[in-house]
Amino acid sequence: MALNIWTKFPSKIRRILTVLMFFLISIAVTIAGVLTPLTTSEATEINEELKQMQDYVSSADMFRGTTLIFGNNFVLCLSFFIPFIGPLFGFYVLYGTGVVIAAESIAEGINPTLTFLLLFVFPFTWLEFLAYSAAFAQSAWLSWRIIKRNWKRELVNTCIIISICAITLLVAAAIEMAIIHAFT
């Protein structure tokens, strides 16, 4: 029954729904990381490593900082496109991101869940999660086409989505760097 409903949707709608499904899963996986219990010493250790990276990025000029943020996020995003295993690696990365958010929050004495939710005030958070979700969805579509032995047709869609993700992550990185410079 559910499969009948799914096949009645136009292909573009199915792709959008797949991205939205992965968006919700990505949020859930990141929240799982945020909710991971950490001792104060673990949180402090993770936070010290994070501070070094934050200091490095915030000390960079706008172009260099944007390039650093974009480069890191885009390389990760590209790995999420890998058929079959990309989303698994991506969820591992998002879980780790949640743990880092929790560590920083604990070290600062703030509720980790509140910190995570407040990140959605910033447009770069939405853009990054949407880009990653699009990569996960395209990996799923490409995996399905490989199983169906029709993968060549899906390569064009993959290239288009990679380009869209690159632009999205570049805009997100520029916004994030502008916010970092505004608050430092």
Determine the average pLDDT of the residues in 101-112: 94
Residue 102 is classified by DSSP as H
Sign of CA dihedral 40, 46, 52, 56: negative
pLDDT tier, 4 (very low <50, low <70, confident <90, very high otherwise):
confident
- Report, in angstroms and rounded to the nearest whole number, the Rg of the chain calculated over CA atoms: 18
Determine the average pLDDT of the residues in 76-87: 98
3-state helix, strand, coil in the chain (%, to 5): 85, 0, 15
pLDDT digits (tens, 9 = 90+) for 114-166: 999 999 999 999 999 999 999 999 999 999 999 999 899 899 999 999 999 99
CB-based contact 116:98 (threshold 8 Å): yes
**Domain ranges, ordered by start, for the chain:** 14-183
pLDDT > 90? residue 56: no
Give the whole-angstrom CA distance, residue 53 versus residue 72: 12
Q: What is the mean pLDDT of the chain?
A: 94
What are the b/e assignments for 147-182, b being 16+ CB within 10 Å?
eeeebeebeeebeebbeebbebbbbbbbbbbeebee
At position 123, the amino acid (one-letter code) is: P
pLDDT tier, 1 (very low <50, low <70, confident <90, very high otherwise):
low
Give the whole-angstrom CA distance, residue 19 versus residue 87: 12
pLDDT digits (tens, 9 = 90+) for 38-53: 988 899 899 888 888 8
CB-based contact 131:172 (threshold 8 Å): yes
% residues pLDDT > 70 (the chain): 98
Determine the average pLDDT of the residues in 68-88: 98
CB-based contact 170:113 (threshold 8 Å): no
Give the whole-angstrom CA distance, residue 7 versus residue 133: 21
Q: What is the per-residue pLDDT for 153? A: 87
Q: What is the per-residue pLDDT for 2? A: 67
pLDDT > 70? residue 3: no
pLDDT > 90? residue 5: no
